[in-house]
């Protein structure tokens, strides 16, 4: 209460007041400063009592007193309005600001702050020698102790850093324990092996060591990092230091006076030295703290954990309206599409019926063409054998003549009564061998000309070439034309119908022998080679030293019904090309360097191996 008194009546007023038993001026209550006692009341009194006493000296008429509080006590004191100012950690301030409307008026400038002015961080500690815990990610599956879920430097900063490292302390740890204040308990629990790791506010470990409560060398820091100008061990980034905040009920004039008093604190003042700070500065930006709390969904952002449908509707009403319009458009569009589908379905059914009819016709046509192709192949094989009939007959006459000669010789010996049993046995074996030879010739011809379905299987090319050349041996001998074999051993098999491959080789060799009938060319002969081309395919080449091909013949060589022979049908090479291409190969002709023609074809190699022959 303030009195206004004229000078002449001063003594009268004082006497009146004294006689009434009242003081001359009502005493104002002291300035009450609530201080977070994160290491207990004794530590808080030792560190902050000089600062509060400094304020008391600046406000002699009111004085000042310190109120040590833990986190729940801080919230209760602010809610009850039993303090005028609060000096608390950064995270607690953000929660008090959102919950009770406190306002920061100054920020502590710590003597250990980094170059940016930030000074609050977390240090995760383990016992020295724990090589299994080097980084924050190594904490997965380990036991960890922190001070309190609401401790900013003692847990929340480390929580955010662990999430960034991929470790959720509430789901990925073996155990998460909270010791409560003071924070010394965390360091002692790690030292004694009660837990694997502990979370401390940065610089607390150094303070405990300086006070002689523990040996700093007995601990190591998990995920050590450095901040320019910051002298304490650190596992996380730094955040703004403690703020001094006024309550909503605190008069603005008093708040300004307190701020001015703190800003005017001389450098090196005993209160600053005891408190471990250099002074006070204007309020820093606490948005990084809001960002951390928003990512953790705690404090002012705890509501992000439980989002109601009404909250979603209020926040995203424009998207919901757009979705409703889209749904309406979709309904109209669906009705239209359904109608079009019915129309299109009817049209498709009709088209499908026509398509099935066309496919059936095409399938019948393909089957007919396939049968005709088989007939043409069969006719071509019969034609080749027909042209070689005299030579084949000569091949059969040889074993048959030998059989007759052996039989007559045995008969004469029997009639003459001469000859031993061994001689007759030898003659019988010779007759049997010649009969087997004749049977093999007949079986080979029968397999070559009989009708059969195409059978694709891994086939040995050299064996097919040998079988075809055996059918041509009589024709070559009758024309006195040497046939040279240059077959590469160990070729990979080809996936083919062996009889068809024999048919191609036989036709090419027969054409080469026909090219020698006129006696043209030097060094008459036919060479059959096998090998691999540059792409890993099996190549068969038939080379002759005949008259060669003209330009017109080379251009039309594989056309159906084109022939250079007087009585030829013109189907042999056309059928050969069809067979080779149906096996995935290629057939072509080139000039022989020494005169004549070389006809080659290649076939893709199969994966399986087959026995030669």
154 and 37 inside one domain: no
For 44, phi and psi rounded to 5 degrees? -65, -40
Q: Identify the weakest region by mean pLDDT among 91-95, 354-358, 375-379, 454-458.
A: 375-379
Encode pLDDT of 55-79 as tens digits: 999 999 999 999 999 989 999 999 9
Please tell me what DSSP assigns to residue 459: E
| 521 and 553 belong to one structural domain | yes
Alpha-carbon span 25 to 5, nearest angstrom: 12
- Mean pLDDT of the region 299-314: 75
Domain that holds residue 138: 122-221
Note whether 474 and 572 are same-domain residues: yes
If pLDDT is split at 50, 70 and 90, which confidence band does 27 have?
low
- Give the confidence band of 368 by pLDDT, cuts at 50, 70, 90: confident
How many structural domains are present in the chain?
3
pLDDT score of 453 more than 80:
no
Give the contacts of 228 (CB within 8 A, at least 6 positions apart).
114, 115
**Quick one: pLDDT at residue 443?**
65
Query: What is the structure's pLDDT at 119?
Result: 84
Structural domain contains residue 36: yes
Can you give 373-387 as a three-state secondary structure string?
A: HHHHHHHHHHHHHHH
CA distance 351 to 356: 9
Q: How confident is the model at residue 417 (pLDDT cuts 50, 70, 90)?
A: confident
pLDDT in tens, 236-261: 999 998 999 999 999 999 999 999 99
Flag whether 147 is in a domain. yes
- Please say if the pLDDT value at position 352 is more than 60: yes
Nearest C-alpha neighbor of 28 from the set 190, 254, 324: 254
Instruction: Let me know whether 607 and 461 are in one domain.
Output: yes
Q: Residue 284 — φ and ψ, nearest 5°?
A: -85, 170
pLDDT score, position 557: 75
Q: Pick the last residue of a domain from 186, 221, 256.
A: 221
Tell me the mean pLDDT in the region 438-453. Answer: 63
Beta bridge partners of 87: 35, 244
Q: Clarify whether residues 485 and 501 are in a common domain.
A: yes
- Residue 587 phi/psi, 5-degree rounding, is -125, 135
pLDDT range class, residue 398, cuts 50, 70, 90 = low
pLDDT tens for each residue of 464-506: 898 888 877 877 887 788 989 999 999 999 998 888 888 889 8
Same domain flag for 565 and 511 = yes
Predicted local confidence at residue 22, as pLDDT: 38
Instruction: Please give the average per-residue pLDDT across 346-350, as a whole number.
Output: 91
Average pLDDT over all residues of the chain: 82
Q: Residue 76 is part of a domain; what is its CATH number? A: 3.40.190.10
CA R_g for the chain: 54
Reported as a pLDDT band with limits 50, 70 and 90, residue 372 is low
Q: What pLDDT does 173 receive?
A: 95
Rounded to a whole number, what is the largest CA-CA distance in the chain? Answer: 190
Both tokens of residue 485? 């074999």
pLDDT confidence tier of residue 612, bands split at 50, 70 and 90: very low
């Amino acid at each position: 209460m303030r009195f206004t008194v004229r000078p002449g009546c001063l003594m009268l007023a004082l006497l009146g007041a004294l006689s009434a038993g009242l003081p001359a001026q009502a005493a104002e209550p002291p300035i009450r400063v609530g201080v977070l006692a994160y290491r207990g009341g004794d530590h808080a009194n030792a560190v902050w009592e000089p600062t509060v006493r400094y304020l008391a000296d600046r406000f002699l008429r009111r004085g000042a007193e310190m109120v040590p509080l833990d986190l729940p006590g801080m919230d209760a004191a602010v809610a009850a309005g039993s303090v005028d100012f609060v000096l608390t950690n950064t995270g607690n301030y953000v929660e008090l600001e959102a919950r009770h409307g406190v306002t920061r008026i100054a920020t502590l400038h710590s003597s250990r702050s980094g170059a940016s002015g930030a000074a609050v961080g977390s240090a995760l500690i383990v016992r020295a020698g724990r090589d299994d815990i080097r980084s924050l990610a190594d904490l997965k599956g380990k036991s960890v102790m922190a001070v309190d879920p609401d401790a900013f430097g003692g847990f929340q900063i480390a929580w955010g850093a662990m999430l960034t490292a991929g470790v959720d302390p509430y789901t990925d740890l073996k155990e998460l324990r909270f010791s409560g204040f003071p924070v010394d308990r965390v360091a002692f629990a790690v030292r004694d092996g009660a837990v694997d790791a502990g979370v401390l506010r940065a610089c607390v470990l150094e303070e405990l060591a300086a006070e002689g409560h523990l040996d700093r060398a007995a601990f190591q820091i998990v995920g050590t990092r450095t901040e320019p100008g910051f002298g304490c061990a650190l596992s996380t980034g730094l955040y703004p230091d403690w703020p001094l905040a006024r309550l909503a009920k605190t008069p603005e004039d008093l708040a300004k006076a307190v701020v001015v008093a703190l800003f005017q604190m001389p450098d090196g003042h005993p209160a600053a030295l005891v408190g471990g700070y250099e002074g006070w500065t204007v309020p820093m930006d606490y948005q990084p703290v809001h960002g951390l709390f928003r990512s953790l969904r705690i404090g002012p952002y705890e509501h992000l954990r439980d989002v109601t449908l009404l909250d979603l509707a209020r926040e995203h009403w424009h998207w919901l309206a757009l979705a409703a319009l889209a749904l309406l458009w979709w309904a109209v569009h669906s009705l239209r599409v359904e109608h079009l589908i019915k129309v299109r379905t009817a049209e498709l059914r009709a088209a499908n019926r026509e398509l099935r009819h066309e496919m059936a016709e095409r399938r019948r046509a393909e089957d007919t063409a396939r049968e005709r192709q088989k007939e043409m192949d069969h006719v071509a094989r019969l034609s080749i054998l027909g042209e070689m009939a005299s030579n084949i007959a000569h091949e059969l006459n040889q074993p048959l003549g030998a059989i007759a000669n052996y039989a007559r010789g045995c008969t004469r010996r029997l009639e003459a009564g001469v000859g031993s049993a061994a001689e007759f046995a030898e003659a019988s074996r010779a007759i049997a061998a010649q009969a087997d030879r004749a049977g093999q010739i007949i079986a080979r011809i029968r397999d070559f000309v009989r009708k059969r379905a195409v059978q694709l299987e891994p086939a040995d090319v050299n064996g097919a070439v040998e079988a075809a050349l055996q059918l041509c041996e009589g024709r070559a001998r009758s024309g006195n034309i040497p046939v040279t074999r240059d077959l590469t051993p160990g070729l990979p098999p080809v996936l083919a119908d062996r009889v068809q491959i024999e048919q191609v080789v036989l036709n090419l060799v027969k054409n080469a022998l026909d090219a020698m009938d006129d006696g043209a060319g030097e060094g008459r002969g036919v060479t059959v080679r096998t090998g691999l081309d540059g792409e890993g395919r099996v190549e068969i080449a038939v080379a002759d030293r005949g008259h060669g091909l003209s330009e017109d013949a080379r251009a039309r060589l594989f056309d159906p019904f084109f022939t250079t022979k007087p009585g030829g049908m013109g189907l042999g090479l056309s059928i050969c090309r069809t067979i080779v291409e149906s096996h995935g190969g290629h057939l072509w002709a080139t000039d022989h360097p020494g005169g004549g023609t070389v006809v080659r074809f290649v076939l893709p190699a199969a994966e399986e191996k087959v026995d030669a022959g």
